[in-house]
């Protein structure tokens, strides 16, 4: 006799995981959510969109890459879900969309209910921080494809923005200023390089290296900052003088910012306006990572940029400070001399140079 459990799939363990995650999911809700956990689909009342002249639905999907391997190695699963939410919802807000609801997908080698509950608790906590509802998800057990302690997570979110309030390159003008919002850490990009450094330099995740107050593993598991509510507040307050945002993920500052700059203009960041985060500098120095490679792989301390009319820059900075975020003016938009291309680049040196230069 062969059973599903004999093949490595434990339905009872999956049911226990669902029971453990119910309380977390209940906290990650909005009044528009219809029904509860257990249905075949999540339902969301979209009648409020009728107040928009031309409602546009925005969607985004992402994962957290090989940061999951750091979580597995540390045996710590309660923060990785925040990374997932951040990577998804902060892509939505770049175009001015309010993230409304999210679903997740968790693939594991073996369902361990407490571990799944920890991951989902992090996702739910991230949704609360983003003002987004967690309306559903899926946990899949993949015996034979993943080792028992291996896992991967992905998510998708839907948001909405009125067409005449959509942000983007079409709003950006020469003379606009770039407001930098600080990153909380490496976020969830460039972990393949980080893991290569860990292996090649024989670094210990459990060790607290000189100058740090946490172990290297704890530093690397710092959750990605969630900017969506801060960005939405700026949009509401500044209107058309808030041009657009750039979510700094894979590709780094220059490449991501260029995506929201129109042809004929260039975004210029001044490195001297901020210092590299201590952990970024540590890994770059210990493994002699070239500066160009570092800047195209990691966020280097800036997780989100806002492009604004210079007349509201001071107000934007004060507004963010009131919300607990120490932002700063990091650059300016200038004519590029190339009418067919949009560009972005960094000038000067960081406060506290790297590699002894």
The CA-to-CA distance between both ends of the chain, in Å, stands at 69
Would you give per-residue pLDDT tens digits along the chain (357 residues)? 665 565 566 666 766 766 766 777 778 788 888 877 667 788 888 998 999 999 999 999 999 999 999 999 999 999 999 999 999 999 999 999 999 999 999 999 998 889 999 999 999 999 999 999 999 888 999 998 989 999 999 999 999 999 999 999 999 999 999 999 999 999 999 999 999 999 999 999 999 999 999 999 999 999 999 999 999 999 999 999 999 999 999 899 999 999 999 999 999 999 999 999 999 999 999 999 999 999 999 999 999 999 999 999 999 999 999 999 999 999 999 998 777 677 888 999 998 666 443
pLDDT for the residue 20: 64
Q: What is the pLDDT of residue 21?
A: 65
- Which residues pair with residue 304 across a beta bridge? 181, 247
Helix (H) or strand (E) holding 343: strand 343-347
Distance of alpha carbon 282 from the chain centroid: 22
Phi-psi region of 217 (alpha: psi -120 to 50; beta: other; left: phi over 0): alpha
Q: What is the pLDDT of residue 18?
A: 67
Query: Exposure of 333 by Cβ count < 10 A (0-12 exposed, 13-18 middle, 19+ buried)?
Result: buried
* 57 vs 84: CA distance, rounded Å: 20
Whether residue 318 contacts residue 230, with contact meaning beta carbons closer than 8 Å, is answered with: no
At residue 10, the pLDDT reads: 63
**Structure-derived torsion over alpha carbons of residues 105, 111, 115, 121, reported in degrees to the nearest 10:** 40
Give the helix/strand (H/E) hosting 176: none
Per the structure block, which two tokens stand in for 154? 């992905």
- Choose among 280, 296, 273: nearest CA to 345: 296
**Per-residue model confidence (pLDDT) at position 226:** 98
């Amino acid at each position: 006799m062969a059973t599903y459990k004999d093949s490595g799939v434990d339905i009872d363990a999956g049911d226990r995981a669902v029971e453990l995650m119910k309380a977390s999911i209940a906290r990650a809700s909005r009044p528009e959510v219809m029904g509860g956990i257990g249905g075949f689909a999540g339902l969301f009342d979209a009648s409020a969109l009728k107040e928009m002249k031309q409602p546009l639905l925005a969607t985004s999907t992402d994962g957290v890459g090989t940061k999951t391997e750091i979580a597995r190695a540390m045996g710590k699963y309660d923060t990785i879900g925040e990374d997932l939410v951040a990577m998804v919802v902060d892509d939505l807000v770049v175009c001015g969309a309010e993230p409304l609801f999210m679903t997740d997908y968790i693939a594991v080698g073996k369902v361990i209910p407490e571990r799944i509950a920890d991951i989902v608790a992090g996702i739910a906590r991230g949704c609360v921080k983003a003002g987004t509802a967690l309306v559903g998800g899926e946990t899949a057990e993949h015996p034979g494809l993943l080792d028992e302690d291996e896992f991967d997570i992905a998510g998708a979110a839907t948001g909405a923005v009125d067409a005449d309030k959509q942000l983007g390159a079409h709003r950006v003008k020469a003379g606009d200023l770039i407001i930098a919002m600080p990153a909380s850490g490496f976020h969830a990009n460039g972990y393949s390089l980080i893991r290569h450094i860990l292996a090649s330099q024989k670094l210990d995740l459990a060790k607290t290296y000189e100058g740090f107050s946490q172990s290297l593993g704890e530093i690397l598991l710092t959750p990605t900052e969630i900017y969506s509510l801060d960005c939405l507040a700026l949009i509401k307050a500044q209107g058309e003088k808030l041009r657009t945002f750039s979510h700094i993920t894979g590709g780094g500052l220059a490449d991501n910012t260029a995506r929201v700059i129109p042809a004929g203009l260039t975004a210029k960041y001044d490195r001297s306006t901020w210092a590299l985060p201590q952990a970024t500098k540590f890994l770059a120095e210990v493994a002699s990572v070239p500066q160009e490679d570092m800047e195209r792989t990691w966020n280097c301390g800036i997780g989100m940029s806002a492009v604004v009319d210079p007349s509201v820059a001071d107000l934007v900075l004060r507004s963010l400070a009131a919300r607990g975020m120490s932002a700063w003016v990091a650059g300016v938009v200038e004519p590029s001399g190339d009418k067919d291309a949009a560009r972005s680049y960094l000038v000067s040196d960081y406060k506290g140079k790297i590699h002894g230069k």
